[in-house]
Chains A and B, each alone.
Chain A
Amino acid sequence: MALLLDIFGYLSVVLRGAVLAAQAMLLGGVIFLIAMRALLAAPTLARCARLVAWSALAFAFAELAFVLLQGLVLVGTLEITLGEALTAAFARADLISCAAAAAAAWLALSGAKGGRLLALAVLGLVILAAQVATSHAAARLEDRALPAFADFLHMAGAAAWIGGIPYLLIALSDRRDPTAGPMVARRFSQLAIAAVTALLAGGITMAVIYIGSFDALYGTAYGVMVSTKALLLSGLLLLGGMNYLMVERLYREPRAPIERLRRFAEVEIGLGLTVLFAAASLTSQPPAVDLVNDRVSWHEMVERLTPHWPRFESPDHASLALSELQAQIERAAATQSTRPEAYVPGEGTLAPRNAEDIAWSEYNHHWAGLFVLAIGALALLERSGRARWARHWPLLFLGLAGFLFVRSDPEVWPLGNVGFFASFRDPEVVQHRIFVVLLAAFALFEWRVRAGAWRRTGAALVFPLLTATGGALLLTHSHALSNVKEQLLIEITHVPLALCGITAGWARWVELRLESREGRLAAWVWPIAFVLVGIVLLIYREA
């Protein structure tokens, strides 16, 4: 139970992300089947129905795991029975949506047409309603109807658009009837326009209600996450807009190549899933409008983002700069201690950080920045075709992984007293270790790809998938700080890093999967994104 409590906050948001992703795939599939049933051949319809069934099972499994986790934590902390925990309003709603998803899986597997399709639609509505019943809107003190309706629209729109794309790809892969693909793609474009309208209407309404003011947009964690979601959404809309034009052309010339449409749709799925996990992180935040204390001011944000010369020497206690830094941290801590703090179980007993800790962390980030800047520059050099030796740039990532493994958590092995296995109880250490493993895997796979041995194999996809995952990981990376404002200031500096990582990953994906002008252009985009990551890391500050 102690271990469960330690990782509870971390695990609950991961499970929530899985629930939202499966929900989008399930509901998106049902909407797709209803809208396209007359256009699809029977084998394609059956493939789509199978994916709906698998999505429904994934949803039921993730939702059940989520509700059991919450229930077990209530049992462990309140000394009540699991039955008492699972009769709470949220648990009843979650269990209803589990049962509805299980029924949807059975219906989809037994052939999704006619009355069964109608029943699937009703089950989809039950699932959406149950999700709204456990949303921010349900917990508001008053005026719950409008935010609940906005949330319903937002989730339905996301499902119909993002969740529908995998089904579009299935339909486009059926080449037996060349006229069906363009018609399905065109109808999906029209459906997506309606879905985006619902998603934006719901999202903007919730942003107005839950954020409330411009200063909360950058001054609170909730506002920053919503802003980041909006940036990712604008990238998705750009891709969607390009695909819309492509679909219109395809409708006029059914023999036109659809490779670009399919590859951009894949990137849309990846970005869409990133947005859904960001949304899961958002549900664990208090709405910005409720957080009236500890907001970051415009001045504080600008001050933090103003570049300083990087720190390339190890921290030194005796230096004057550190004494000043320590005084600054103590002043910030003094203002914090008079305010009530709130944590999820397993957190809230964090040790305060001192100037030496911060100097240590900045030193790590700045050296990492040098590594990444060198990697980006070498990748650009390789791309220019003027230096063949530069293709060995992935090996620099091995150096970076080793550096981070030793330095990122000084309290654990090999530098500290906490053992290697014992350190896995700290979610922040686990996140750092995942980064190290991702970096090492990335380095080895990409080095082999650059050497030519694995160029045409699935190994080439390790680069885009790990980079995009790493970027998404950074988007929601947390630092163990007891001061809410300081934590937010650090997260603000992580947002550009995350966005550059996500851009780099999906640009490389397009380069690998699309042999056209867009693919060649994307080959320049990702090294530039790496250079930008290097520069942002070099000017990174924690105080």
Chain B
Amino acid sequence: MQRRSAYGLAALLLAAALGLPPAARAHAIIVAAAPGPGEQVKGPDVPVELRFNSRIDRERSRLSLLRSSGKPEIVPLEASGAPDALTGKLQALPPGSYRLRWQVLGVDGHITRGDIPFTVVP
């Protein structure tokens, strides 16, 4: 009887261990962005401020700029500021299309990333 019971229990745990691969979505989401997605902004200098729905670990978060060609350039982040925001400044941008790539580590350990396309006008 004991062996049967142990067998049943093991089988139950196996059912759970089989995986149940779930949907993974982003935890930290942007609640306000400057520049916003698809926005046209005046250059050449563009201030950046992204606000999230949660506190973030700024030391382990990153902003990069993608030009229409070439590899991503890291945007220096301001060391202080609101605990839910990433701020920085894009300098000397000629008119054209860009993508701002962000990646944040939430204080709860969730890693999230995304792109914000925007255009610089003279």
Contacts and interface: CB of A to CB of B under 8 A. Distances in A.
A370 interface: no
A138 interface: yes
Nearest to B28: A342
A136 B108 CA distance: 6
User: Of residues B6, B15, B17, B27, which shows the largest number of chain A Cβ atoms within 10 Å of its Cβ?
Assistant: B15
B20 A277 contact: yes
A139 B113 contact: no
A70 B111 contact: yes
Interface in A1-55: 8-10, 12-14, 17-18, 21
A338 B38 contact: yes
Interface string B23-53: 1111111110100111000000000000001
A308 interface: no
Given A273-B12, A342-B113, A337 B37 contact: yes
Contacts of B92: none
Given A139-B54, A286-B53, A344-B113, A277 B11 contact: no
Interface residues of B, number: 53
Contacts of A345: 103, 111, 113
Contacts of B14: 465
B21 A173 contact: no
Interface string A276-291: 1110110111110011
A284 B60 contact: no
B24 A9 contact: yes
Contacts of B13: 273
Contact of A427 (B18, B21, B25, B28): B21
Interface string A503-522: 00000000001000000000
Contacts of B113: 77, 342-345, 348
B11 A465 contact: yes
B21 A476 contact: yes
Contact of A344 (B12, B15, B108, B112): B112
Interface in A327-344: 337-344
A45 B27 CA distance: 42
B9 interface: yes
Nearest to B83: A141
Interface stretch (A87-95, A230-238, A411-419, A528-536): A87-95
A108 B24 CA distance: 35
A256 B24 CA distance: 47
A162 B116 CA distance: 44
In this complex, the member of B5, B19, B30, B107 whose beta carbon has the largest number of chain A beta carbons within 10 angstroms is: B19
Nearest to A166: B9
A347 B24 contact: yes
A468 B26 CA distance: 27
Given A273-B12, A343-B112, A473 B21 contact: yes
Contacts of A317: none
A269 B17 CA distance: 13
A50 to B, nearest CB: 12
A473 B26 contact: no
B28 to A, nearest CB: 7
B118 to A, nearest CB: 11
B16 interface: yes
B33 A340 contact: yes
A321 interface: no
Contact of B12 (A221, A266, A291, A458): A266
Contact of A468 (B2, B15, B23, B31): B15
B67 interface: no
Interface in A285-311: 285-287, 290-292
A175 B5 contact: no
A477 B62 CA distance: 30
Contact of A134 (B8, B36, B38, B108): B108
A372 B28 CA distance: 39
Contacts of A166: 9
A366 B24 CA distance: 26
A430 interface: yes
A78 interface: yes
A472 B9 contact: no
A339 B37 contact: yes
Contacts of A14: 19-22
The interface centre, meaning the residue of B106, B108, B112 with most chain A CB atoms within 10 A of its CB, is B108
A94 B111 CA distance: 15
B26 to A, nearest CB: 4
Given A90-B109, A94-B109, A340-B30, A478 B15 contact: no
Among B23, B29, B54, B84, find the residue whose CB has the most chain A CB atoms closer than 10 A: B23
Interface string B81-122: 001100000000000000000010111111111111000000
9 contacts: A8-B24, A88-B109, A139-B27, A221-B23, A281-B22, A284-B25, A340-B33, A434-B19, A461-B11
Given A10-B21, A478-B25, 18 more contacts: A8-B24, A13-B21, A74-B105, A90-B109, A94-B109, A134-B108, A136-B108, A269-B9, A274-B20, A277-B22, A284-B22, A284-B24, A286-B29, A291-B29, A344-B25, A344-B112, A458-B7, A465-B15
Interface of A: 8-10, 12-14, 17-18, 21, 70, 73-74, 77-78, 80, 84-85, 88-91, 94, 134-136, 138-141, 166, 169, 173, 175, 221, 262, 266, 269-270, 273-274, 276-278, 280-281, 283-287, 290-292, 337-345, 347-348, 427, 430-431, 434, 458, 461, 465, 468-469, 472-473, 475-478, 491, 513
